[in-house]
Amino acid sequence: MSRITKRFEKLKADKRAGLVIYISAGDPDLASSYEILKGLPAAGADVIELGMPFTDPMADGPSVQAAGQRALKAGITVDATFDMVRRFRRETGDGDTPILLMGYYNLVYQRGAERFCKAAAAAGVDGFILVDLPPEEADELKPHATAHGLDTVLLTAPTTDDKRLPAVLKYASGFVYFVSVLGITGTKSATEDAVRSHVARLKRHTKLPIAVGFGIRTPEQAAAVARHADAAVVGSAIVDRVKAGLDPSGKPKPGLTAGVLADVTALAAGVRGTVKA
């Protein structure tokens, strides 16, 4: 059983939804990014999405694009991202918190799927969310991911109809990521009624947990999602908090990490205050 499956089983036993937090590896620099990563579990993150910055982020909104640009300028690479995860596992002793790499398939393709999966697993990664890998192309990655014990989390959207869903779910493992709004990250939010309806429809098709993301910025919005889904995903609000902790030259101000983690704690309180029936 993967770390991701174990975590969602525990959340189910605890009768609550989870909090998935996205940060961009290397944002605003490698040292600060690692300190944030290291503090996320204690702050209340149940699952961590570690973004792999890419030069052409087609699905990212302005906030996540800016975070990726800051990280690339600071020198982040795929190998440095692996090193962050490896260091996290070694220094914290945390063998329970799932860490997924989120990004674009080009970074996998350049290295080769088998080699990439082997390196990711060796570093302590638990799976991938690759926003531009459709199910029709997932055979390039899925066998290698499975061979190395890595989950492949696929995305669905409001436009993913009942005819399309089986093709997506065929390759999904760990959980299903429901993109609650159309468009890029961090620009608008879905209503609670819409989330309720879409999650109910997805659950008719799969027993995998459903995580809902895009547009969740406040503890109240996270709590509303947690009333219906198995997890709430927050990304843009966190990278915006990183940006707010920078001085005009782009260097971290004192208290940046503490400020980010305080926001995560507030979001976790929102999610954990919702007891699922």
**Annotated active-site positions, please?**
49, 60
Cα–Cα distance measured from residue 129 to residue 46, given in angstroms and rounded to the nearest whole number: 16
60 sits in the region (left: phi over 0; alpha: psi -120 to 50; else beta) called beta
Give which of 269, 172, 170, 174 is closest to 230, Cα–Cα: 174
Pairing of strands 155-156, 151-152: unpaired
* Three-state helix/strand/coil letters over 38-106: HHHHHHCCCEEEEECCCCCCCCCCHHHHHHHHHHHHCCCCHHHHHHHHHHHHHHHCCCCCCEEEEECHH
Contacts of 115 (CB under 8 A, 6+ apart): none
E-assigned strand segments in the chain: 18-24, 47-51, 99-103, 127-130, 151-152, 155-156, 176-179, 210-213, 231-234
Cα–Cα distance measured from residue 50 to residue 33, given in angstroms and rounded to the nearest whole number: 10
Give which of 54, 67, 76 is closest to 23, Cα–Cα: 67
Residue 192 token pair: 């609670």
Cα–Cα distance measured from residue 65 to residue 185, given in angstroms and rounded to the nearest whole number: 9
Helix (H, G, I), strand (E, B) or coil at 235: coil
